[in-house]
């Protein structure tokens, strides 16, 4: 059996560059981390093909667990661990088959001595940095599949010392990288059962051309899901085009989708192709489908059935081979009952329905998301900002508060707090301390079973409802009136009624 050399790295841009610089030293690349390393050591010990392990994991979560794993590791396997962290040094002490190289460690946890200047990812090399972030995203979306990182290391090794230009180096990835750069959405970071199940469904559904409806609250990554359905499909080299249907007048939305010819309506001084035309061969994402005017819903249904459409002001039909993915708030069925969304359109576009969990659904993922955001936001932050480790430590000490908080904007809300602390040092948890109502109920405070806490004294139900709606309005974050009403399970008119009473 041929013996191989394994390199284990943390999934950060600098580590991939280091892997590229020592490309001749390893045969297989794997992902590890401060918590995952114990499981990886056990896995490697079961693999008789491994003869050497190089580890570039700067920190560990449990020194004793790592020592136990190293003690059990086959003595025929040589281990070299690159880190200057005291916990790693302590874990490696006393083992003849383990050598710890005390390297100078940068803030992100990799050796600055090993990293050549031309290959170092930084904010002044956006192409390289964005390419690495894109590959890391794919690895996490595929449940820590090291394939994308290995591919990136090979690409960087091949172009070492040269200017990294996307058009020259990775032309097939340009569209994906540019969209991620513009949209600035993180990957679905969580590792909870619900998020893992969602990622697995995306992987399974993406290669097909089936139409998908994504439902979820605001700030839960519906566009990110749509993008990955496109990214993992045969259409990934073609355009991914999106539009939010909420609040757009019928004539304008029709023009945006289908295009118009000169003179099609007042002010149409020249013709213009629509998004369906721009998306040819690719994917069209329709956000807030439930707010699309009924007349346009009929035209969209016909297009979904025939792939044919008419530009405004033109009798000729056009054909477009695109995949349509839509997103809506959780109240989509209420929209159908109110006849605001056509039943036939729903059944045609929701050939498969996916739901994005809210933060309240996956409280165990919140700290994982904070950790990801801290690393993602470190580039370009102002002078005097908190470090990645300071940010992670600060939020880690407030995990109970984050788990109990009702997040109106979900991940968008969390991003806002991480930015405020990391960039300006604000004690953001002061903002999470809701004012106590006159009845003694902390707004948004939950009991262990997820119910609203019992007030200190009983009050009329209508009065409590009004106070609850008022608190929800004052702490709505980025939610619109329609979104807040949907989450509260009431109509917009009822919401306005309660707010008017308050005034």
Of 4-8, 171-175, 483-487, the range with the highest mean pLDDT is: 4-8
* Averaged pLDDT for residues 334-352: 94
**Which neighbouring-strand residues pair with 30?**
8
pLDDT band for position 150 (cuts 50, 70, 90): very high
Q: Tell me if 65 sits within 8 A of 90, measured CB to CB.
A: no
Distance CA 12, CA 133 (A): 8
Q: Report the 10 Å Cβ neighbour count for 201.
A: 16
Torsion of CA 268, 271, 275, 279, to 10 degrees: 180
DSSP character string of 318-330: EE---EEEEEE-T
Minimal CA–CA distance to 198: which of 230, 180, 225? 225
Distances (CA, A) of 265 to 78, 119, 237, 261: 74, 54, 34, 9
pLDDT at 466: 74
pLDDT at 53: 96
Mean per-residue pLDDT of the chain: 85
Question: Residue 36: pLDDT above 60?
Answer: yes
Residue 25, both tokens: 């030293």
pLDDT at 431: 67
* Averaged pLDDT for residues 169-195: 83
Instruction: Spell 130-166 as b/e; 16+ CB within 10 A means b.
Output: bbbbbbbbbbbbbeeebebbbbbbebbbebeeeebeb
> Which tens digits make up the pLDDT trace of 428-451?
887 666 433 333 334 444 443 344
> Which tens digits make up the pLDDT trace of 374-422?
888 877 677 778 998 899 999 999 999 999 888 888 998 899 999 999 9
Of 94-108, 155-169, 177-191, 199-213, the range with the highest mean pLDDT is: 199-213
pLDDT band for position 454 (cuts 50, 70, 90): very low
Residue 267, both tokens: 């002010």
- Percent with pLDDT over 90 in the chain: 54
Q: Tell me if 219 sits within 8 A of 410, measured CB to CB.
A: yes
Q: Tell me if 399 sits within 8 A of 405, measured CB to CB.
A: no
Question: Residue 457: pLDDT above 80?
Answer: no
DSSP-based three-state secondary structure for 72 = helix
Distance CA 319, CA 298 (A): 17
Selected residue with higher pLDDT from 402 and 118: 402
> Which tens digits make up the pLDDT trace of 69-108?
999 999 899 999 998 889 999 999 999 999 998 875 443 4
Distances (CA, A) of 109 to 57, 65, 254, 359, 468: 8, 21, 51, 29, 46
* Averaged pLDDT for residues 219-226: 92
pLDDT at 408: 84
Distance CA 184, CA 77 (A): 42
pLDDT band for position 183 (cuts 50, 70, 90): low
**Which neighbouring-strand residues pair with 80?**
54, 99
pLDDT band for position 67 (cuts 50, 70, 90): very high
HEC string of 440-466?
CCECCCECCCCCECCCCCCCCHHHHHH
pLDDT at 436: 31
* Averaged pLDDT for residues 241-245: 93
* Averaged pLDDT for residues 1-10: 91
Question: Residue 232: pLDDT above 80?
Answer: yes
* Averaged pLDDT for residues 133-152: 93
Give this prediction's pTM: 0.78
State the DSSP code for 289. G
Instruction: Spell 211-220 as b/e; 16+ CB within 10 A means b.
Output: ebbbbbbbbb
Q: Tell me if 329 sits within 8 A of 290, measured CB to CB.
A: yes
Phi, psi angle pair for 127, to nearest 5°: -65, -45
Selected residue with higher pLDDT from 130 and 436: 130
> Which tens digits make up the pLDDT trace of 252-294?
899 999 998 887 777 777 888 999 999 999 999 999 999 999 9
Minimal CA–CA distance to 224: which of 194, 251, 188, 250? 188
Distance CA 339, CA 328 (A): 15
Torsion of CA 181, 364, 15, 173, to 10 degrees: -30
């Amino acid at each position: 059996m041929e013996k191989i050399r394994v390199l284990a790295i943390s999934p950060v841009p600098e580590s991939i560059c280091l892997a590229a610089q020592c490309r001749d030293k390893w045969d297989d690349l794997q992902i590890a981390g401060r918590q995952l390393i114990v499981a990886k050591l056990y896995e490697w010990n079961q693999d008789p093909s491994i003869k050497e392990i190089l580890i570039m994991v700067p920190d560990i979560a449990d020194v004793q667990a790592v020592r136990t794993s190293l003690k059990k590791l086959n003595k025929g396997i040589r281990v070299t661990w690159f880190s200057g962290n005291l916990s790693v040094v302590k874990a490696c002490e006393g083992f003849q088959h383990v050598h710890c190289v005390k390297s100078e460690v940068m803030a992100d946890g990799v050796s600055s001595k090993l990293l050549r200047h031309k290959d170092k990812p930084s904010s002044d090399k956006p192409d390289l940095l964005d390419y690495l972030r894109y590959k890391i995203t794919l690895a996490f979306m595929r449940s820590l599949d090291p394939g994308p990182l290995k591919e990136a290391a090979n690409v960087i090794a091949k172009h070492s010392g040269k200017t990294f230009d996307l058009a020259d180096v990775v032309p097939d990835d340009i569209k994906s990288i540019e969209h991620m750069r513009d949209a600035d959405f993180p990957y679905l970071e969580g590792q909870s059962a619900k998020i893992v199940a969602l990622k697995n469904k995306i992987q399974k559904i993406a290669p097909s051309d089936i139409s998908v409806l994504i439902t979820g609250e605001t700030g839960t990554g519906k566009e990110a899901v749509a993008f990955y359905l496109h990214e993992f499909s045969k259409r990934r080299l073609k355009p991914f085009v999106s539009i939010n249907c909420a609040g757009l007048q019928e004539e304008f939305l029709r023009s945006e989708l289908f295009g118009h010819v000169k003179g099609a309506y007042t002010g149409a001084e020249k013709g213009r192709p629509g998004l369906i035309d721009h998306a040819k061969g690719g994917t069209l994402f329709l956000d807030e489908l439930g707010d699309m005017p009924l007349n346009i819903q009929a035209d969209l249904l016909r297009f979904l059935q025939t792939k044919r459409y008419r530009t405004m002001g033109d009798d000729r039909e056009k054909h477009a081979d695109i995949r349509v993915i839509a997103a809506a708030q959780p109240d989509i069925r209420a929209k159908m009952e109110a006849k605001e969304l056509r039943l036939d359109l729903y059944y045609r576009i929701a050939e498969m329905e996916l739901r994005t969990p809210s933060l309240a659904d996956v409280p165990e993922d919140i700290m994982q998301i904070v950790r990801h955001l801290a690393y993602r936001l470190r580039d370009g932050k102002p002078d005097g900002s908190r470090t990645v480790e300071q940010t992670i430590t600060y939020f880690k000490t407030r995990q109970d508060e984050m788990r109990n908080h009702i997040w109106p904007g979900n991940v968008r809300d969390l991003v806002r707090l991480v930015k405020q602390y990391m960039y300006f040092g604000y004690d953001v948890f002061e903002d999470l301390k809701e004012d106590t109502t006159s009845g003694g109920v902390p707004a948004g405070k939950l009991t262990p079973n997820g119910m609203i806490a019992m007030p200190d004294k009983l009050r009329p139900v209508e009065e409590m409802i009004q106070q609850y709606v008022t608190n929800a309005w004052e702490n709505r974050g980025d939610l619109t009136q329609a979104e807040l009403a949907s989450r509260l399970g009431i109509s917009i008119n009822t919401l306005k009624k309660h707010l008017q009473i308050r005034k």
